[in-house]
Every structure is written in C-alpha cells, then in structure tokens.
Amino acid sequence: MLQHGNDAERPPRAHGTSGRDSNTSGPGLPSGTSRRRFLTAVAGAGAAAASPALLTGCGTAQAKGGNLQFWNFYGPQRSPDPAINAQSKWFVDMVAKWNATHKTQIDLVYLPQPTYLNGFKLPSAFATGEGPDIFLLSPGDFLRYYNGGVLADLTPHMEKEAIDDFGSALDSRRVDGKVYALPMEIEPLAMFYAQDVWEKAGLSEADIPTTWDQMLDIGDKLRTKTRAGLVFETQPGYYQNFTWYPWMWQGGGDVLDHQGKVIFDSRATRQALALWQDAVRHGIAPRTVPAAGDVIGGFKGGNVALWQQGIWNVSSFKAFAPKYRYGVFRLPVPPGGKYVTTLGGWSFCANAQGRNPEAAAEFCVWALGSMKDDSIDRMVDWCVGAKSDVAPRATALERGAAKGGYDSEIMKKFKDDIFPGGRAEPRYPPVVYKAISDAVQGTMLAGRGVAGEAERAAQSIAAYTKSYKGASLV
C-alpha cells in the first residue's frame, strides 16, 4: 500500500485499478498514477509528523446532522472502462441499500483518484475540520489518521466471529486490540510476463525464474531497444515502497524489529537496493515505466517482457485485452532467501469527529464486517465481480471460490500460490516512508552507494523514532 497496493482512478490507469492501470489499487486512475503516491506530499511534514497531532482541527466543520458523506474514488461515475463502471455500481448499490433501510442517510462523494490520492484533498479536509464521515484508507497511511485522532473504533459494532473471520487481515488496522479500519480487499504482488515474448525467445514454463539472478538473466535476454526486459516502479511514493519491501523481506531484512528497534541498515536491505540499482544500471529495467504506466497498453504494445504488478490487473486484462496471453509467477528470491510478497488493499474508515460517528462506524461494519450474508456476499461481489482481488475474510474467500471467482488459471495462481506467502503492507508514517523512499530513489536512479544510503536512511528513521509518540509502528 498506500499500495500499496489501490488499493487505487485513472483514465489511462494504474495500480489497483480496474483498467489498464499500472500502479494503483483502485479504479480509474490517470496513467502512471499510484493509489499511494499522493502520500509523498506529506513527507515534508518533517518533525511535525512525530506527533499524534499531525491533523490539527480534525473533524467535520459542518453542523451536526444532515446526510453523512462518504468520500471515495470509485463512484458514482461513468466511464468508457467497463471495470470502472462495475466498481462504481458496487458503491452506488451499497449506499442505496443502506439508505433504503436506515434513517441516517449517506451521500457518496466521488473524487477523481489524482485528487484523492495525489493531492492534499483528504488530509487538508481533516486539518481544516471538514473531513468526510466515511472514507477509504490504505494501510500505509493508517497511522497518520489514527494518531490524528480521526479514526472511530469499529470494535463495539462487530461480532467476535466477524473479527476472527478477518484474521490477520486486521493486524495493520488494529491498535490495542481495537479495530479502526475494515479492509475490502487484499492485493498481492507478483511478476507478470508476456507469453508471446517468452515463447519467441524459446522459453517454457521450466524457465520461470525462481532466483534473482535468473530473473535478471531472462530480463536481459528479453529486452530490446523498444522493450523493457524487467520493470520495477520508478516513481517515488508509498506505492514504490510497497513494491520494494518484499525484496528486502525475502533476505530477512526489515525496517524495524518486533520491539520497534531500527534494523534497516542490513545485508538484506543492501542487496535489495542493489537488485534494483543493478537492473537499471545494466539496462534491464528502465528508468521510467513503459507506456506512461499503462500496464495493459505496455504489454499489448510489446513494450515490456516482465513487470512487477498486482492482482488488480487481472480484471484490467479481462476488460481491455481478454485474448492477450500473459502469465504470472511468484517474486523470485535471493540466495538463501525465503519467498515473501506484499499484500495491499483499501479499507473503510469512520470519522471519530464527524457528524455521526456511531452511524458511520455502523455503516462500515454493516457494509463489510457483519456476519450477515449480505455483508459477506458484498465482499465476494467486490473481490471476484467488480474487481479481481483476494477476499480478506475467510468466509468471503470460500464463497468467492465456490462461485468460481478463482477458477481461472491466473486467479487460482494468485489465491493458492502467490497470496499464501504474503505479508501486509507496513503502516509507517510519512517520515519513515520518506527515508526509505529516498534510499530507493538514491540508489536506483541517482547511482548513489547502497551502503551509504542504507545507513543514512537507518539514522533518519532512528532519530525519528526517538521522538515519535503514537501507536506502534509495527
């Protein structure tokens, strides 16, 4: 997250979206836009981010009463993209059903994804006391809003059976055992590859790389003057960090240990930074993403052979290139490493200082976190109907599978092989995110030394954590 994962609005498209997007985990994004990239803007908060009072004047300025506002980047909207329309309809139908059965009414407020994700709209609304009553939040930005005091506790409205049904999917959305956000999806990362390019090069299923060296060798073999051999995200932001974390994790590295001690400067971190740096330095990976971040267009146009992307693009291929032949495989691992991928996805949150926090929290649980069939089926419809995601609830995952949502070769691969080795997107606040981002950018594109950047980032994170006051970073 912040997504990663988008979880995220795009005319041409990006990660987590439903069209031909490349880096967003949501629906309809402008090309090359990531659902998490707007978060980069907050990095400049500097030392202020160390305080829970990052969002001053939190709440909703309008007088209490009136319809609740649900800010989102899905609907209502109309688009030439059938996947985006399906996602918009899911939101519209959900709110219409609530409004037909509840006294407190909700209005959907659609914000174009660049506005919601790449700008200051959401944080500035909360900072000025005009935040929405209900909104979408990625794991990567959870602590900024929790520490700002604007996330309502959803636990009182949930049955224990429902909380257990989510399992570890709630781990990054909990503080002291209380639930403050309900995930609507889980979005694993994998490697996508062009089967025609693969076969023309004389490669078969037996050549699927399982190690970093094999991946680089194949990327080198498949690249041409007009085709990237291997694509990693190049635009700085929460999304780029989201896609880089698994390479560090696979070697046993991390940003913080379970006690919160900074351990970023490690062999695993340095080799992960070196992987991306070497791929760019040797011309295997480009310095900018192909086709302006349009994944489907990039593959169809023959501009890419391998691209690290997420499950959200399965629905994009189905909508825009149903006959295009592509495959997916697990992220390869370093020598002695262990397979890990990152799991992104967006959540519903209620504003603790809004017009009616109780009703807003009740809505979130009614929509996604109840044990009633409608709530479970609603998640199924989202994950294997409107989009292509892994359901974050065990019951919804089972129903989605029974419904045939994971029968296709690609979706079955994601559900049974790629997703089980996943780890939730971290919830690091802006200062921590920025230190990591600077290290990735500095080594990957600026050619700076891996050791120096890892050390500098670790020192920056350590200095920040000394004065940090808020919920646990891990």
Spatial distance between the Cα atoms of 359 and 350, rounded to a whole number of angstroms: 9
Nearest to 242 by CA among 459, 93, 23: 23
Q: What is the pLDDT of residues 159-192, one digit of tens each?
A: 999 999 999 999 999 999 999 999 999 999 999 9
Q: Which has the higher per-residue pLDDT, 30 or 421?
A: 421
What pLDDT does 157 receive? 98
Helix H segments across 133-289?
A: 142-147, 160-166, 195-200, 212-222, 238-250, 267-281
What pLDDT does 62 receive? 47
Task: Judge contact between 171 and 164, C-beta under 8 A.
Answer: no
User: Where does the pLDDT of residue 390 fall: very low under 50, low under 70, confident under 90, or very high at 90 and above?
Assistant: very high
Spatial distance between the Cα atoms of 227 and 35, rounded to a whole number of angstroms: 26
Spatial CB neighbours of 195, under 8 Å, sequence gap ≥ 6: 325, 326, 327
Nearest to 211 by CA among 147, 275, 257, 137: 275
Q: What mean pLDDT comes out for the span 270-291?
A: 98
What pLDDT does 344 receive? 93
Sketch out the chain's domains with CATH numbers. Answer: 37-186+344-424 (3.40.190.10), 189-343 (3.40.190.10)
Q: What is the pLDDT of residues 290-325, one digit of tens each?
A: 999 999 999 999 999 999 999 999 999 998 899 999
Spatial CB neighbours of 360, under 8 Å, sequence gap ≥ 6: 68, 133, 134, 152, 350, 351, 354
28 pLDDT exceeds 70? Answer: no
pLDDT above 70 covers a percentage of the chain that reads 86
pLDDT above 90 covers a percentage of the chain that reads 79
Q: What is the pLDDT of residues 98-142, one digit of tens each?
A: 999 999 999 999 999 878 876 678 989 999 999 999 999 998 889
30 pLDDT exceeds 90? Answer: no
Spatial CB neighbours of 243, under 8 Å, sequence gap ≥ 6: 4, 189, 232, 233, 308, 342
Q: What mean pLDDT comes out for the span 251-279?
A: 97
What pLDDT does 458 receive? 98
Give, as one character, the DSSP assignment of residue 256. B
3-state secondary structure of 126: helix
Spatial distance between the Cα atoms of 266 and 270, rounded to a whole number of angstroms: 6
Spatial distance between the Cα atoms of 40 and 107, rounded to a whole number of angstroms: 29
Q: What mean pLDDT comes out for the span 239-254?
A: 97
Q: What mean pLDDT comes out for the span 366-371?
A: 98
Spatial distance between the Cα atoms of 62 and 129, rounded to a whole number of angstroms: 8
Count, residues in the chain: 474
Which string of b and e fits 14-48 if b means at least 16 CB within 10 Å? bbbbbbbbbbbbbbbbbbbbbbbbbbbbbbebeee
Determine how β-strand 341-344 pairs with β-strand 187-194.
antiparallel
